[in-house]
Structures are given as structure tokens and as C-alpha cells.
Structure 1
Amino acid sequence: MSEIPAATVRTRVGVPLRFGDGYGVDAELVTFHGLADGLEHLAVRLGDPDAAAVPLVRLHSECLTGDVFGSARCDCGPQLREAVERIARAGGYLLYLRQEGRGIGLYNKLDAYALQDGGLDTYEANAALGLPEDGRDYTAAAQMLATLGVRELDLLSNNPDKAAQLRALGVPVRDRVPTGVFATGHNLRYLRAKFTGTEHSSGHDLLAGRIA
């Protein structure tokens, strides 16, 4: 990995995860000292990463509205649920990153939602507020992976920028594994914007008509 500040493990604690649809799995939550951005990011150890030839890893940006309240305006909650089960089967880590609204914060995200109700897409709304389309930086994620001893990974993501940033930070990404696409009548415009704004592969599937 490239020269980035070293982090250390603060706490490891076992937590049984239980989802509303009945799925459950035992996980280990790992916290850290020394992360570059000073935020309280979390690694969720699932399955047996040590036994996997190459662990499966997802960088999941915090989404209070989708992950906790089940908002249908995005696909974050269903992607989180899917990722936990797939990583538990394969062995790996879910990095839960405190990057609400692609790094702009919760209040700014809700301000952008209000503009979207007026007709702007998610990226246009960010621009109108003077905010970046995507303000996320994955240096802390690279630190976490190094601390966990992950030397190579398969990345569970539809977003090519995540793989590109990790590789630029010296993290060997063997493959990018697509996630499911969870389209509803409420988030179709959001998913379309993810493709037209960032070449996000879930949006490509939507525009190509391969999902309902």
C-alpha cells in the first residue's frame, strides 16, 4: 500500500446483527485510532476473511434516511442488507463510513432533497447548493484495510470511483463485484442520475432496460 498514516485498532466487539426480514448473522465490529479524517468509521467483520482466498469488501457510506428509516428515495438500505449477507457468505469486511450524502452531511443532503422535489436531480441539487457531486475520500478506508491486514480484495460496488481511489491509495483491488439494483417508483430518477452523473453501473442497467 502507498504511504498513508498508520491506524491502530481501538476496540473489537462481537455483535449479533438482525434485520427486519429475519436475516441474522454474528459480526465483529472494529473501531480505530488514528484515522486520517478523524471520523468514527467502523469495520464489520463478517464470515471468515482469513479463510477467503481474497476477502470481499464493501465501502458503504452512511445513509441515515435509507439505512435506518428505510427511505425509498435511494437504494442504500437494501444494498446494505444485501452486502452483509454476501460478505458473510464469502468472508470479508463491510466498512461503514461516516460519509452521509456522499460526503456533504445529513443537513445538506436534506437541503438537496428539497431542491430535487423542485425538479433537480441529485447532482444538479448539490451543484445548486455549491457542494461537490461526490465529496468522499477513501484514505481512512485504506488505513482501515491496512490495519485489518487486507492485502488484496474484491470490491462489492457498482461505483468505479471507489475502486479507482483505493488503487490510487495503493490498495490492490482484484475485481469489482456488482451489487444488486433495487429500483422502486421512488428512486428511479436517483438511479438514472447515478449513471448520467458518474457512470455508476447500476444506472447503466436501469437505462439499458434490464431491470423493472
Structure 2
Amino acid sequence: MTDSDGAHRNSAHSSGIERAAEVQLSTTYGEFRAVGYLDLDRGDEQIALVYGDIEGDGALTRVHSECLTGDAFGSRHCECGDQLSAALRAIVSEGRGVLVYLQGHEGRGIGLLAKLRAMRLQSEGMDTVEANLALGLPADARDYRVAAEMLHDLGVRSVRLLSNNPLKREALLRHGIKVSEQVPLLIPPREENLSYLVTKRERLGHHLPHLDQAPLGHTADGS
């Protein structure tokens, strides 16, 4: 371990995370450096995929919330899996960047089983916000502290953030990560997820201007 690596470990440990492992990871998108972290406050295991030299300013960055149904199973009821793939491709095309993959964010932070229950309510006519609230859960329970601490540890001072969510930008700013640009990550809607996307725009403030050209006339309540 180099002196620099040791400094990173000590800094990360004092801020609530510990850099626990690092390895080269060959993927279908390119060769990444996978950096694993332990969240000392919550006990969650987290990972960042680093491509090229990201230290300093302006690294293209995706802070991606865990979505098992979308990321692993290719669910058509959200755009998460497509966003994950598009973000990794964009980072490689850029030549430098980082993807922070946040466990504990399933269903906007309510967990996998609650998310499945919420999906059942959505199939009965509720939108995603109504379903979470009907279960007695927050519309969005995600916390981005650990993402900011991972970026700090990786030497990132400011990011070009791949996101449509202004709350994600505000959260990183609140935790000391400058956002020099918010880069849209727009995925063409499908019939199965259009009402979900409209809800994200109308009720959660996501910037999704491409929905205005969507061929289907769904509204936020699915009508």
C-alpha cells in the first residue's frame, strides 16, 4: 500500500466510510477500477467504478441507486437498468469518470420487499408516490452522504453529474461536492413505464423534457 493509499484510508475512515478493497474489473463496457467501501454508520457495502484519472474537477459522475428489478432483471417498469448501461457507456466514451453504485437505495430507499408491495399498489392504479405513502413510507428516503464521502476519498472535487434529479444535485452540494454541470440521462419511455416517468417529473421534480414527445397520452395517474 502506498502512502497516498494510506492517506485515503485514514481520511475515509474518519469521515464515516472505510476503503476496504480495490481491484481491476473487466466489463462489457470497459476496464474499470472497482473500489469497495464499508459505510461505518449503516454497515452497507458500497462500490465505485472508476474509469481513467478522475481526481480534481469535472469528472463525469453517475450516482446510481440500487434497483435489483431494473439493473439485474431488466424490468420494463422503470428505466434504471437502461440508465446504468447508458451511464457506463458515457463514462467510457468520455475517457474519465466514476459510477457510484449505492446499495440501500432500493425503491427510493424503502427496501426490496416494500418496493414489491408498492408495485402491487401501482398495478391497482396508484402512482409511485401514492403507493409509498399508502404503505406508511416516505416518497423518497434516500441519503447521499456516503456517495459524497466516496467521491471525496477518490479525490473528486467537482462533478458533471449524470442525472435528471435536481434533489440529487442538491444533496451532493450539501455534502461538499461541487456540481459544475448536470448532464441529462434521458431514456426513451416505454408503454410500461411512461406513467411512472410522468410521476417522477410531475411529483418528484425530475427534468424529463423528452416525455413531451412520448407517443402515449398517459398522465401521472396512469390514465
TM-score norm. by structure 1 comes to: 0.89
Report the residue type matching 1:11 in the other structure.
A
Confirm or deny that 1:210 pairs with 2:216. Answer: no
- Matched with 2:179 is 173
Within 2, Cα distance between the matches of 1:176 and 1:106?
Answer: 28
Q: From 57, 69, 81, give the equivalent of 1:77.
A: 81
CA contact (8 A) 1:8 1:147 kept: no
Larger radius of gyration: 2
- After the TM superposition, which residues 117-156 of structure 1 pair with which residues of structure 2 at under 5 Å, given as runs? 117-156=123-162
Aligned in 2, Cα 1:34/1:77: closer, same or farther, shift over 3 Å?
Answer: closer
Matched, 1:189 2:195: yes
**Partners of 1:6 and 1:147 within 8 A in 2:** no
Question: Which structure 1 residue ranges, 4+ long, deviate > 4 Å from structure 2?
Answer: none
* 5+ residue gaps, structure 1: 19-23
Matched residue, 1:164: 170
- Tell me the equivalent position of 1:21: none
RMSD over equivalenced CA pairs, Å: 1.6
TM superposition shift of 1:53: 5.3
Task: Report the AA paired with residue 8 of structure 1.
Answer: E
- 2:37 aligned with 1:27, yes or no? no
**Matches of 2:86 and 2:53 in 1, distance apart?**
17
In 1, Cα distance between equivalents of 2:97 and 2:42: 23
Give secondary structure in 2 for the equivalent of 1:173.
strand
> What is the rounded CA distance, in whole Å, between the counterparts of 1:65 and 1:47 in structure 2?
29
Structure 1 stretch displaced more, 9-18 or 118-127:
9-18
Q: Distance in 2 between matches of 1:106 and 1:6?
A: 25
Unaligned runs of 5+ in 2: 1-13, 216-223
TM-fit CA distance, 1:210: 2.8
Helix, strand or coil: the match of 2:30? strand
- Asked whether the 8 Å contact 1:7–1:34 carries over to 2, the reply is yes
- Deviation of the 1:42 alpha carbon: 0.8
Instruction: Give the deviation of 1:182 after TM superposition.
Output: 2.8
The percent identity for this pair of structures is 43
Structure 1 residue 32 displacement after superposition? 1.6
- The answer to which of 134-143 and 38-47 deviates more is 38-47
| Structure 1 residues 27-62: Cα deviation after superposition (integer angstroms, max 9, x where no partner) | 111112444432111101124424x85201111001
Structure 2 letter corresponding to 1:199:
G
What is the SS of the residue equivalent to 1:79?
Answer: helix
Match of 1:39 in 2: 44
Q: Counterparts of 1:40 and 1:71 in 2: how far apart (Å)? A: 24
Q: 1:66 and 2:70 equivalent?
A: yes
The count of aligned residue pairs is: 200
CA contact (8 A) 2:57 2:159 kept: no
Q: Distance in 2 between matches of 1:121 and 1:187?
A: 11
CA distance in 1 between counterparts of 2:184 and 2:131 reads 27
Q: Does 1:7 align with 2:23?
A: no
